[in-house]
A and B are shown apart, each in its own frame.
Chain A
């Protein structure tokens, strides 16, 4: 269970306090172990920043983050990686283009495990296990273990990144518009894969999406962010009844319609 209390974050580009930009203004959020939460909000509302603060990329100015009762507010990214899996919006960031698929998966599988730095990185046993893991995707990736990640398509990369994030079964999965850079058909498939992984592995998940339909369709809870605050939260049966128009209504009442609301 992740508990976020009164999280604040401002960016200070220089020493001039007038340039300060307050991005998070008191976020309170509890993510239960069975939660799959979708996050929507107009551009610049602080969604990505929230994920980055949870992951430890930025230190918050105020507030606390606790995982299973342990305060992790000050823990650096690489230490948090032990229990947090991430998928980025940009398919190029989630994997290492110059390293092979096998190497990428190996790196992810070591996350949070006991380190044995001088052990050979690529082992036969791992190869077979990874191939078993890749097979169900139906992408033929299991036959391309030695190909550099850079030679794969965006959708393939995001699928692999998803698998990587879910390997070593994390305590929290953070997804930041991870289908936004994909064409609609591929995006749909990656979303379905996401749903499968989240459910099968029972990983608590926080997923930012620009797609309102996805936000409603997937997960058990939906939150909406605006100007650094969570302004709307709905779960369970109530969420299932939600329509895209309801959400657009929420946005228009804020007078900040995001592009994606118009585009559907």
Chain B
């Protein structure tokens, strides 16, 4: 027998993880860029999120176009990323510290806005246009059915969040397939070799952190629009959420290439929020949630170790293994190797360089 209470539990179980998972999945993509692509533990997300939720609440309250608010938040996030990178490059602060400085700065801005708004950085979604509620109005029409209104509003969250996410996902996928994107991935993974191949590692880390910041800013903006308010505490625990989602995704989806890596961020984010929702049903008191999140991260890290060592022991068979199976140790370089003529090199690579 499903009680009314049971029904709403079921409903929130079906819907809430999608809303959180999609909106904060954008943040996970941002953290993925700093943490995985650049190998930097960037904590600034804890400050950038509340800064953008609060700014968004103020902007929406002032009837600024919500999509413009989204762009502004992304631009601010990008600026934070650039500051972060410049601190590391020019002041030689360790990356961790640069991130903490940006976190403190952006958190400070959130507190400032909060004080200026006397703790009332919020808006009524019925009175102001957001990225979500145009769709809800469209779906709900003049209906007064509470269930249908409820459904329409959640559908609008999920649809719009998925739309923004899909757009960002596509942009990221194509961008990181370009020469510039490939250079960024190279610079993060092997700076020494990248420099030896003419890639400016500093420039790459500025660009990557700017993109990371823009993604986090976008997440913060949508989060603020969804919440209808901004609080300085909005960023609390965000780094735990982001890293947990990231690792969880990597456990579920083996990230053999960039596309799979970004897919794993989204999968991780959704699954993470399902786990959180389940925990909230088991213990609805709520005040233990942060503790659960910390413990969950520990569990995820342990699982990650097992999965990593399992994958190392059971590598995927390379394609066309038959022909490719010969390794150098067995291969015979012919007595007179077919000359690697300059013509062949020129064929693919163009002219001899002129200084």
Contact = CB atoms under 8 A, between A and B. Distances in A.
A193 B180 contact: no
B324 A168 contact: no
B337 interface: yes
A36 interface: no
Contact of B315 (A115, A120, A151): A151
Interface in A27-46: none
A164 to B, nearest CB: 7
Contact of B337 (A82, A186, A196): A196
A112 B352 CA distance: 9
Contact of B349 (A95, A140, A167): A167
A242 interface: no
Given A151-B315, A201-B342, A78 B199 contact: yes
Contacts of A133: 340, 344-345, 348
A202 interface: yes
Interface stretch (A14-22, A101-109, A228-236): A101-109
Given A78-B195, A113-B350, A140 B323 contact: yes
6 contacts: A77-B195, A100-B257, A120-B177, A138-B333, A163-B340, A183-B329
Contacts of B345: 133, 166-169, 201
A6 interface: no
By CB atoms of chain B within 10 A, which of A57, A115, A139, A146 has the most?
A139
Contacts of A213: none
Nearest to A197: B340
Interface stretch (A153-161, A217-225, A247-255, A256-264): A153-161
A227 interface: no
B182 A107 contact: yes
B355 A67 contact: yes
A137 B197 contact: no
Interface string A59-101: 0000000011010000001110111101010000111111110
A55 interface: yes
A171 interface: yes
Q: Which 8 A-B pairs have the closest CB atoms?
A: A129-B348, A117-B180, A81-B198, A155-B328, A112-B353, A121-B182, A77-B195, A136-B338
Contacts of B327: 139, 153, 155-156
A181 interface: no
Contacts of B353: 82-83, 112-113, 168-171
B329 A185 contact: yes
Nearest to B338: A136
Interface of B: 177-183, 185-186, 189-190, 192-201, 256-257, 315, 318-320, 323-329, 331-334, 337-342, 344-350, 352-353, 355
A75 to B, nearest CB: 10
Contacts of A97: 189-190
A103 B355 contact: no
Contacts of A118: 178-180
Nearest to B350: A113
A96 B178 CA distance: 17
A190 B331 CA distance: 12
Contact of B318 (A96, A117, A147): A147
Contacts of A55: 196
Given A55-B196, A81-B196, A109 B337 contact: no
Contacts of A12: none
B197 A107 contact: yes
B328 A81 contact: no
A181 to B, nearest CB: 13
A126 interface: yes
By CB atoms of chain B within 10 A, which of A107, A153, A159 has the most?
A107
Nearest to B345: A169
Nearest to B256: A148
A168 B340 contact: no
Given A107-B199, A140-B326, A189 B333 contact: yes
A155 B318 CA distance: 18
B321 to A, nearest CB: 9
Nearest to B199: A78
Contact of A155 (B194, B256, B323, B329): B329
A178 to B, nearest CB: 13
A98 B189 contact: yes
Contacts of A147: 318-319, 324
A151 B337 contact: no
Given A116-B179, A133-B340, A159 B328 contact: yes
Contacts of A84: 196
A186 B328 contact: yes
A84 B197 CA distance: 9
B329 A186 contact: yes
A86 B345 CA distance: 17
Given A106-B182, A113-B350, 5 more contacts: A107-B194, A113-B349, A153-B328, A169-B349, A189-B328
Contacts of B341: 200
Contact of B347 (A99, A129, A155): A129
